[in-house]
Amino acid sequence: MEQFAEKRIIDSRGRPCPGPVTDLSKAYRVAKLGDVLEVWATDPAAKNEIQTWAKHSGNDILEIADEKNYARIVVQVTKKRT
């Protein structure tokens, strides 16, 4: 039975590189196709890093936004590693 897509927030604020990407990758491992993973990060490289990760893993970036003190990068799981 197909489960509904979920949204998860990954709070990597304060975590230096490669924290945001490793946190995202851990969440991705247990995520299902269609799930939305939203990363919150303060590391200045995080936006680029997560875009690179998404490109490399074949997943989609839905949104990149600058909040007051952190960046919010929203990724949708469109490909699962087999």
Annotated catalytic sites, by residue? 17
Q: How far apart are CA 79 and CA 57, in angstroms?
A: 7
Provide the 3-class DSSP secondary structure of residue 29: helix
Cβ proximity to other proteins: between 56 and 68 the closer is 56
Q: If binding is defined by CB under 8 A, does position 78 make contact with other proteins?
A: no
Cβ proximity to other proteins: between 29 and 68 the closer is 29
First to last CA, the chain: 19
Among 8, 17, 64, 74, binds other proteins (CB under 8 A): 17
Length of the chain: 82
Q: How many residues bind other proteins (CB under 8 A)?
A: 17
